[in-house]
Amino acid sequence: MLITYPKLSGILVFTVYLLSSFSCASPDQIDTESDVTNPDLLNVVTTVSPITSIVENIGGTYINLVGIVPEGVNSHTYEPPPSVAKIISNANLIILNGLFLEEPFLIMAEENAKPTTKIIQLGNETISSEEWVFDFSFPESDGHPNPHLWTDPILALKYADIVRKELVKLDPENAEYFNSNFSIFQQRIEDLDYRISNSISTIPPKNRKLLTYHDSFPFFASRYGMQIIGAVQPSNFSEPSAREVARLIDQVIETGVPAIFGSEVFPSPVMKQIAKESNVEFIDQLRDDDLPGSSGDPQHSYLGLMESNITIIVPALGGRIDSMVGFDTSLVFEGKSRTKYPE
Ligand SMILES: [Zn+2]
């Protein structure tokens, strides 16, 4: 049981949290070298891997963190198995991207979470509905905006700050640890943002255009002055019609871009056809929710995902990536992470 007495505007407010599986642990009680679940720590559940990585960086070794959506699956249509209900029922905090990305998981979370457990949708708290983006694969007629906010590192930093605040609220004794991890993560994001801007500035202006298969880069593009000339994947995740393919081929030829980009998660023969008929390079390795490498590798992180995309996009469009050399994609904290990424 954790009892806190936060002072709000001079009024003493009594809040009693009855959290059966969590009692406050002080830093010296925590075995940072252990990878077993520690019953004295907060149980946090997340969905897609970039979100898991952001939460992992802030919570460090002071949270038990479980990611749910396996890498390499279509996160937009993912249905969690019934076994996930038990993980949800043990959670002290549940963190989603939101903006309709993980609807089946959200329903399961609302049905199975403890009444005291907060469910946070980071995207919904980061931008207002006036800032929602509707586009190729996320048309306004469907009502579901493009959810990939994290491809803009500055929005990812806002995600991290929301996570920091929630962890501090739930575990105020360890506030200094969470704040310190956030501060290092903020420096890494600012460094990343500077390096990406530098790299993109080396792309000839006429080539600063993206045609991707999966429609995950509008927030990235608007941050770095790139233009999205199209996304190929229709909103129902099928393949585009022959007429749409012909239109895209015309568009690629007209814009004169040297390369178009596919996705690790969605291999598409249609993209190959568009590239061949418009005589441009096709690179099918962009990532939006599939982290590079394997769990435990330094590049298996949100920062590694962004680095990987830049090192693919920039040279293919005629730019240089010298600015990315030496960028640190590893976790910001010391000790062995307790985060479980699903296989
Ligand atoms: Zn996606």
Tell me how far the alpha carbon of residue 5 lies from the centroid of ligand 1, in angstroms. Answer: 41
Tell me how far the alpha carbon of residue 75 lies from the centroid of ligand 1, in angstroms. Answer: 6
Question: What average pLDDT does the segment 43-51 reach?
Answer: 98
72-125, pLDDT tens digit by residue? 899 999 999 999 999 999 999 999 999 999 999 999 999 999 999 999 999 999
Determine which helix (DSSP H) or strand (DSSP E) holds 159, and give its type and residue range: helix 153-170
CATH class of this structure's domain 27-190:
alpha beta
Strand, helix or coil at 3?
strand
Q: How confident is the model at residue 33 (pLDDT cuts 50, 70, 90)?
A: very low
Q: 202-324 in CATH: which number?
A: 3.40.50.1980
Tell me how far the alpha carbon of residue 133 lies from the centroid of ligand 1, in angstroms. Answer: 14
Tell me how far the alpha carbon of residue 187 lies from the centroid of ligand 1, in angstroms. Answer: 26
Question: What average pLDDT does the segment 52-71 reach?
Answer: 97
Q: Hey, where are the domains in the chain?
A: 27-190, 202-324
Tell me how far the alpha carbon of residue 20 lies from the centroid of ligand 1, in angstroms. Answer: 35
Domain 27-190 matches domain 202-324 at the CATH topology level: yes
**Whether residue 211 has pLDDT greater than 50:** yes
Q: How confident is the model at residue 7 (pLDDT cuts 50, 70, 90)?
A: very low
**What beta strand segments (E) does the chain contain?**
2-4, 7-8, 11-12, 15-17, 42-46, 63-67, 93-96, 118-121, 209-212, 227-231, 259-263, 281-286
Q: What is the pTM of this model?
A: 0.89
146-182, pLDDT tens digit by residue? 999 999 999 999 999 999 999 999 999 999 999 999 9
Question: What average pLDDT does the segment 24-47 reach?
Answer: 66
Tell me how far the alpha carbon of residue 36 lies from the centroid of ligand 1, in angstroms. Answer: 31
Say how many CA atoms lie within 13 Å of 336 toward its Cβ.
11
Tell me how far the alpha carbon of residue 127 lies from the centroid of ligand 1, in angstroms. Answer: 18
Tell me how far the alpha carbon of residue 52 lies from the centroid of ligand 1, in angstroms. Answer: 15
